[in-house]
Copies of this chain bind each other. A is one copy, B any other.
Amino acid sequence: MSRTPRPRRRVTLASLAAELKISRTTVSNAYNRPDQLSPELRERVLSAAKELGYSGPDPVARSLRTRRADTIGLLLDQPLSYSFRDPAAVDFVAGLANECDAAGRALLIVPAAPDHEPGAAADVVNKASVDGFVAYSVPENDPYFGAAMERHLPLVVCDQPAGIDGTVRVGIDDHAAMLALARIVLDLGHRSIGILAMRLGDSKRDGTTPLDAALASRYSVQRDRIQAIADAAAQQPHEVALTIIETASHTRESGARAAQAALDQDPGITALLCTTDVLALGAMTWAAEHGIVIPDELSVTGFDGTADAMRADLTTVVQPSEEKGQRAGEILMALAPSTGSREELLATSVHHGSTIAAPRRR
């Protein structure tokens, strides 16, 4: 396999046309409107192009002229190496990418510097050559998101933030979904509950968080899920003690540590309701390592319905992550620049796994 020889000088539409002694229009047409010139001429153009190492109209120049990049930008809350720890995020990106594939659009992942300086976020967002943005689960007041808003391009939000003027949101009813699950658990008779949640605050920290602080989080998804648990608890005929543990990072390991922290805080806890499957699986690992039998001695639930969770037969909320990505893409590509606000909620279900049971009698 050998490469076409690298051109000495840059070959352009114009230089190619000059070489062939035809006009630039004709060369352009050879690529963009095959029906506008004779097949023979077109063939001559294409073969000369190959000869000279010209691989077609420059995409940047074309984009400038046509005002479209055929590319959509993806905004993430964190660097990809963190986001991808979460299978639900991976599924979302896969769904979105597939939709892009189908429409012949490329997907641009906007870099998210771990520690964003003030202007850096806007900078990197403004540098993205895209026709629109999808923001995946970013917190309220996120600087990247703010910068994307300022670009006045079509914008679709997945999950968070909700209620933003002039954007379309794709998501689920987090509150209703978690409410249903929490009721199932509480109705079994649990009175001391541990809640394991993802990051809630502005700074990264691990440990106990008061309920009111959790309900003031910028992460509305986490907030809604915790609110749902609180609501379900309030509806019980008896008091229910809630211990919330926040985890800065979102891994099984931090789930395990959070489980430990929860039971340190309140040894009477008989059920751990986790806001994600990853944390729940970590809690299960922790329990196994400490000889705690699930569900006999401890109930555990998750949220997401990832493949790993289903394999572990975790009792959890199943949400269509890949479909969310797909819908976000579909909507974005059908969107006029200034559409009114809209919300599209997809269906969820509860997977009745084998990780919950009535609390053991004392």
Binding site for B on A (CB under 8 A): 1-4, 6-7, 50, 53, 55-64, 69-71, 73, 79-81, 84, 90-91, 93-95, 97-98, 100-102, 104-114, 122, 124, 126-129, 140, 147, 149-152, 161, 164-166, 308, 322, 337-338
Contacts and interface: CB of A to CB of B under 8 A. Distances in A.
Given A59-B126, A111-B107, A337 B6 contact: yes
Given A1-B164, A3-B149, A97-B80, A124 B104 contact: yes
B150 A4 contact: yes
Given A3-B165, A4-B149, 5 more contacts: A7-B152, A55-B152, A81-B98, A104-B124, A106-B109
Contacts of A105: 111
Nearest to A326: B81
Contacts of A64: 58, 60-61, 64
Nearest to A155: B3
A11 to B, nearest CB: 9
Given A93-B80, A107-B108, A101 B129 contact: no
Contacts of A322: 81
A126 B58 CA distance: 8
Contact of A112 (B81, B101, B161): B101
Copies of this chain: 2
9 contacts: A2-B165, A3-B150, A3-B165, A4-B149, A59-B128, A61-B64, A100-B109, A108-B108, A129-B129
Given A80-B93, A84-B94, A106 B101 contact: no
Nearest to A140: B1
B128 A106 contact: yes
Contacts of A113: 101-102, 104
Contacts of A150: 3-4, 50, 53, 55
A253 B122 CA distance: 44
A59 B123 CA distance: 10
Given A55-B150, A94-B84, A79 B106 contact: no
A147 B55 CA distance: 8
A50 B150 CA distance: 8
Contacts of A165: 1-3
Given A3-B149, A3-B166, A59-B128, A104 B111 contact: yes
Q: Determine which residue in A1, A61, A338 has the highest number of CB atoms from chain B within 10 A of its CB, and name it.
A: A1
B56 A126 contact: yes
A94 B112 CA distance: 12
A60 B1 contact: no
A63 B108 CA distance: 15
Q: Determine which residue in A61, A73, A91 has the highest number of CB atoms from chain B within 10 A of its CB, and name it.
A: A61
B106 A108 contact: yes
Closest 4 CB pairs of A and B: A80-B97, A101-B111, A81-B94, A107-B109
